[in-house]
Chain A
């Protein structure tokens, strides 16, 4: 009896780890870095598949080499998840890189099981001769070093995703035009790369927003209409947003979604808690599924280090006043003040004059990614930052250090405002 319970607990813990691994990295491979996670997912594939299918409508595909959770976002209007280069400054992809990435994938899809970077480049140039691309003002010759640099960035991302694997040579050599590199093409990974159930080539929509909507649509659910299916669609959308995004503000929901969430909130959040260990932080303005284990995220807050510190200090500053658009210049001024006060703990480059703009930029980017602030360009052209309700989590609390009565809630609220 006791051993039975322990196994059940163990299974529960393993399923949780597997689910978290998939949410963190929706494409896991049987070899290398993700091998352990893959094994867990494979072991509990049935349970996970059922859960995701029922609650989010995301397909989980598991074969002998890959596990892929086809995550489509609940809210497609979030621009804070760019593809990033794998090394260096991890800059977001540019227009050319995105286009190159897709062309490279189109080529790989048709290629043999191995491909040399030089050959890939040739074929990409051929693909890029498509008049539609030329019309959009894109052309590639891959003769300039900067263009080859873009291709190498793409190839590195593909390598990290596991679509291709280096066999011989070095992409640096290709970059310098002194050599070439050879790659294996992993068909299974490639096959699972697109997330949506709708192939982009079947979408006729001409505008940006329609295209996104078409990509994230569920053709099966859309095609039928019944109260049951409508509820299912609502559940999927809401669960997707809760399980994937930091904060779900009620203000962003449709009337239908609000009504459904109001009646199903506890059911939905507790199912998520059971699967992932995330805890619901339900407030008047919205819900955040917060993570006690602090590893189910790509953006951390609070975080140690200079940038983390600046972000925290700015968050406290923004949370301290009544909500208003705060110009970036004001934040930069604040950072100059912080530098005087805390600079001793900061990295050297952060203390150099003129570093404020970059510090503010990184901090705001982070806060925006966590749905804690919103940036906008005001009518007069200044760029400003506006606090969102959940930012208040990071307001300076009661005098935890100096005062003794930190546990008294009345004591705690007064000095903040």
Chain B
């Protein structure tokens, strides 16, 4: 910093160059940035009170109380700021009352345009970053009120013939402004909510203090959004309704606002410039209107923003509660299973090595399988035959039997051998064949026994061994069923394959049946043998 540097360094050129190289922002990164910002803050605040020039002593007096800054520092800082183009020094022509003051360099300072723009930018930056985001139920009410106003003007049935364009314009501007705020805030809110919930470096106390109010607030907002939001949606649809002329009710209002805006612009030299300005203004209003509608009304291709906001706010509540629960549990040290697992996590983290972690796992969870050495039946048998006492050391006892095969190759069986044991298909085939043949023989014997009607037993004459075997069995069944005083009987064989009816003749005649093994004799009977299975199969 140089005191002898010409303070009259052309202010205009300074601000001109600043617009190119952003000199007015230089003080942000300089040492002493805090002081510079504080001084600029003084100028901005004074400007709001319409004070244009400030003397160094005024600046020093207005600075936030800070013992580290004396009057000289302030003057030096003011000069630096003038150098960067934020301030413009002008010679102070006021009276002085002391000689030394007269000899001191005397200037008064005012903000340059560049300095002012820099301050505005910084203010916007700060508020943008610092914004936690808030949801405005008030904004919703305002929007609804403006829409009601607009609807009253747009209603052709209303007696107010022609709405005042100035009023319409103001209402629409207000509407657009409120809506813009609402949208900005909602965006900021979503962002800050996520930051709150993530809570990586949790400021626990602050969060817990804040959360009840936050949840309250969210619930209120959701309620408002539902009630006021639906009213707004209804008003919007009313304003969108097309009249007999085919235009929407809101269109004349938008046109009126655009007309009024166009009238404010400077008159153009060329013919048609006015029309162009009007068209541009109208297009702008249509865009704003569409934005508003998109917020509250659903279109086929997108959900209304309000609905998305509502669901985001709603899902934020359980998420917040989860964070609260987690924090509370972590703080309270209450013992439940969740706390148990958390403590275990810490123990695992603190354990000195893998081995101790494995031990901890086994002791805490106990999910390990039992583990045992094996013994084979040969070894067991040998031990039973020749028991070894419990005082035998392991290396004096017989070792377990290990198959030489396993010892040599690491495999239990020679390759390919197990198949030989498993394959019994040949035997099964033979058995099946045997069963089939037996069934066939029985069927044939039955068919031969079938008498096809009533005949005398003596007419049977001859039977082969298979058929005769069946016949004997059948005869046994029939005789067993023969009631004491009856002359005839009827029965079915045990397997249900044959039915026999017999009637005693009592004429003393003898029937003879010849078989290859000998002759069967007995009193003659009338018999009827029916092959039930064969009959059932053939028809």
Residue positions of A touching B, CB distance < 8 A: 23-27, 70-73, 76-83, 92-95, 98-99, 102-103, 105-106, 109-110, 123, 125-127, 129-130, 132-133, 136-138, 161, 190-191, 193-196, 199-203, 208, 211-212, 215-216, 243-247, 265, 278-279, 281-285, 288-292, 294, 296-302, 304-306, 308-310, 312, 319, 342, 345-346, 369-370, 389-397, 400-401, 407, 409, 412-413, 416-417
Contacts and interface: CB of A to CB of B under 8 A. Distances in A.
A99 B402 CA distance: 43
A393 B337 contact: no
A309 B390 contact: no
A98 B393 contact: no
B340 A79 contact: no
A392 B394 contact: yes
Question: Which of A25, A106, A215 has its CB near the most chain B CB atoms (within 10 A)?
Answer: A106
Report the 10 A-B pairs with minimum CB-CB distance, sorted nearest first.
A309-B410, A195-B366, A102-B345, A136-B349, A282-B390, A106-B341, A392-B395, A79-B355, A98-B348, A23-B370
B538 to A, nearest CB: 46
21 contacts: A72-B363, A76-B363, A81-B361, A81-B362, A82-B354, A102-B345, A109-B341, A130-B330, A130-B346, A195-B365, A284-B392, A285-B393, A288-B372, A290-B373, A292-B380, A312-B407, A342-B410, A345-B408, A391-B394, A394-B402, A397-B398
Interface in B360-379: 360-377
B347 interface: yes
A392 B322 CA distance: 58
Given A103-B342, A201-B340, A246 B349 contact: no
Nearest to A191: B337
B390 A103 contact: no
Contacts of A247: 373
Interface in B245-283: none
A409 B386 contact: yes
Given A297-B370, A345-B411, 20 more contacts: A93-B357, A99-B348, A110-B325, A130-B345, A138-B349, A195-B366, A200-B340, A208-B347, A215-B360, A278-B372, A290-B375, A291-B373, A292-B375, A297-B374, A298-B368, A342-B408, A395-B399, A397-B402, A400-B401, A416-B395
Given A127-B326, A392-B399, A298 B200 contact: no
Contacts of A400: 401, 404
Question: Which of A133, A137, A319 has its CB near the most chain B CB atoms (within 10 A)?
Answer: A133
Nearest to B398: A412
A23 B363 contact: no
Contacts of B111: none
A26 to B, nearest CB: 6
A191 B341 CA distance: 11
A130 to B, nearest CB: 6
Interface string B392-436: 111111111110101111111000000000000000000000000
Question: Which of B363, B369, B371, B380 has its CB near the most chain A CB atoms (within 10 A)?
Answer: B371
Contacts of A82: 354, 357-358, 361
B338 A203 contact: no
A244 B370 contact: yes
B158 interface: no
Given A73-B366, A283-B397, A389-B394, A95 B349 contact: yes
Contact of A102 (B322, B334, B348): B348
A342 B409 CA distance: 7
B38 interface: no
B66 interface: no
B364 A195 contact: yes
Contacts of B325: 110
A247 B335 CA distance: 37
Contact of B343 (A200, A216, A296): A200
A72 to B, nearest CB: 5
A170 B365 CA distance: 27
Nearest to B402: A302
Contact of B366 (A71, A103, A305, A394): A71
A306 B199 contact: no
B361 A243 contact: no
B202 interface: yes
A299 B200 contact: no
Contacts of A265: 390
A244 B358 CA distance: 16
Question: Which of B365, B375, B386 has its CB near the most chain A CB atoms (within 10 A)?
Answer: B365
Contacts of B518: none
Question: Which of A244, A312, A346 has its CB near the most chain B CB atoms (within 10 A)?
Answer: A244
Contacts of B361: 81-83, 93, 98
Nearest to B351: A208
Contacts of A278: 372
Nearest to B349: A136
A309 B409 contact: yes
